Structure 1
Amino acid sequence: MAACADQVCDWLAGQQQAMIDCLQALVDTDSNSYDRDGVNAAGALIQSWLEADGIECVWHANETYGDALEARIGGGQQAPVLLMGHRDTVFPKGTVEQRPFTREGMKAFGPGVADMKSGLVLNCFVLRALHQLQQQGKMAMLPFPVVALFTGDEEIGSPEGRHTIRRVVEGARAVFNAEPGRISGNVVSARKGGASFEIQVQGKAAHSGVNHADGASAIGALAHIITALHGLTDYEAGVTTNVGLICGGMSSNTVAASATAKLDLRFVTLEQRDQAFARIEAIVAAEHVPGTCASLILKSEFSPFEARMSEQLLALYKQQAAIVGFAVDGEFTGGCSDAGFTSSMGVPTLCGTGPVGAKMHTDAEFCLLDTFVPRAQAVARSVLMLAAD
């Protein structure tokens, strides 16, 4: 497979401008998570590039958010290798009109340019490189399929995409998730898991001056709940809780009859997750102010991406990156991704294999374009070395 890897790398070496052109087209397509048409338009672009090379594409329909696009090459009876990424961004529809793709030398800017439209382009070109050399007879058929999966709702917790991911990834040999490479140049070898909750508190309204004692303040109860929830944070263990949004009441002279809050929980292991869930449920269930009651609604959840699930792939990727010409290591991050789903299924996973980027989810987000080719080469070589094994 070494000769095949060299041929794939040679082809990719000549694709930098084509990669940049595709990235510009993708960035200039609004695709906020809640903009289903925009997310699917981004998918249609990817489909057009792959089908132009004769790569088979199929859609997995979702009810609410963007559909998932699957592309597949190769055959054989062995377990597949997955290249994965999400098409949705956090930026609202209309952002492209105000702030389209721009460049300053080899640094590119625009909504989602790093998180993670550059990674989607990288996966496309890795798939195209492997497919073209097979079609030209310059490389033997891979003993396993290589599947690229492009989902549409990761930024909001993959409420629908997670089901497609689990179906497609079940029994896979390995997953390379093309989230942006860290600004250090590293890939991501572990991530926290996370969950988002909504807390709803019901109380009893009363005039705060005339009959204050007849009321039961939902805001007062929520204040107690928030204090208790924030008390669960344990920096040494890596567990954090954060109520980042609250609302409630009707006026300053009315005892609040209702209040709501949004809670973010982060954890490192599944054991921590179970412990935190139990403690959160107990805090919310308790009556903190007589006459009030509260309920807890789980809105979204990511499984943790534990380091043990990346060890072998990271070693392989580092070896192939060194051959290409760059040094890399694994890095832990508190952010969640779909890598948590695949690793929790027992599938070896490596994340952050996309081009290097930084300042994600801000107007200053950027991608380093000169990392496109070498990082695509490292992924392609890693896939081929899995075939050699």
Structure 2
Amino acid sequence: MAFIPFAQGAQQYLELVSSAVGEANGETCADLLSATHPHTRNKKLQLENAEALCSRFLDSPWDELVAAHLRCCWATAQNDALTCYACQTTVVQIFNRILQTHKEDNWALPVMYVVIADLRTFANEADSVQMSAGRGKPGELLEKAADCIMSCFRVCVSDTRSTLDVSKKWGTLPIVNNLFKIYFKTNKLHLCKPLIRAIESSNIKENFRRSHLVTYKYYVGRKAMFDNDYEKAEEYLSYAFEHCHPSSGRNQRLVLVYLIPIKMMSGCLPSSELLDRHNLQQFTGVAQAVARGNLRLLNDALLEHEAFFIKFGIYLILEKLKIMIYRNLFKKVFLLMRVHQLPLTAFVVSMQMVGEDEMDVDEVQCIVANLIDKNYIRGYISHQHRKLVVSKQNAFPRLPSTDLKMSLT
């Protein structure tokens, strides 16, 4: 991180920017243009109109970009979110022009990472201000920010002239992650599909920085979950959890919020140790309901933590766990009766005992057929005798696991 004493003024700051640009020092330049760097709190750098000053130290269009950044610092001090958003939009637009002129190098990619992340943050804040004032539509400025960020993505993804070590394609994944955050916020998940296709077809997709890959896998896993592609969701979310830095407890918790329901769909229940460690006790009752085959317990758990599950968009996924509860409940009936021809009425009684008071034989028959289709039960239904005839060997195939272990890798 570039050190800029608060006592220094605009001239010293501009000399540092000029030096960083001249030396193609992307990391230092990124710090000097970051909206979260300490220099933004220096009152001497909070300039409403700095165009003339910047032109004395920097060539065009860098002088325009830095002037827009300093005006953004001024607007931040004024708590003017809309002006911050407008200034940062200008910063990204000018940077995109600069990026297009860098034909055979990618030193400025760190600058791109910070300016587009700052634009997303400012757009989110500006949207909140607009909505509070009764203006605009929800997510309107975030969507405009996404369009602006997409212009950088097009430049990076189309870079075919540079050798791999200086290719701008290395910038595609960080851009995609920022766009994912916007599309999930604005509920435009269909716009993620072409971005996923671009990354999956990339010849460097396994060589991106791990932190960027973890974020990417997290969002793709979430999208797969909402698309009912649970196998893909489990694969991507498991990667995100297993490769998340051990010190990033908050990020691990976010991944688990979605990974736990997916794992439970395949019979893999979270341990109490895992739930306690990540403060996710909201899943305790749900896991117990699945393990015991107790539908009433599931309904109670969903009702108790309804706000939490709805907030993260997993309520409907958890409701689908009823199929696992039916499987475990029917297995208990099988173990109690110890016969291979089970009357469907026995399942009706067991369902009524756990809260399904309106259940009848026809509905049970549909549930059993679904369980057979999913290979949770091996057997067939004798419609004539209204019985479930189960296999004499492994009638209820063993589920993959009963515990989701904590990974420290």
Task: Please indicate the TM-score interval, normalised by the length of the shorter structure.
Answer: under 0.3
Length-normalised TM-score, structure 1: 0.28
- Richer in helix (by share): 2
Higher RCO (C-alpha 8 Å, min separation 6): 1
- Richer in strand (by share): 1
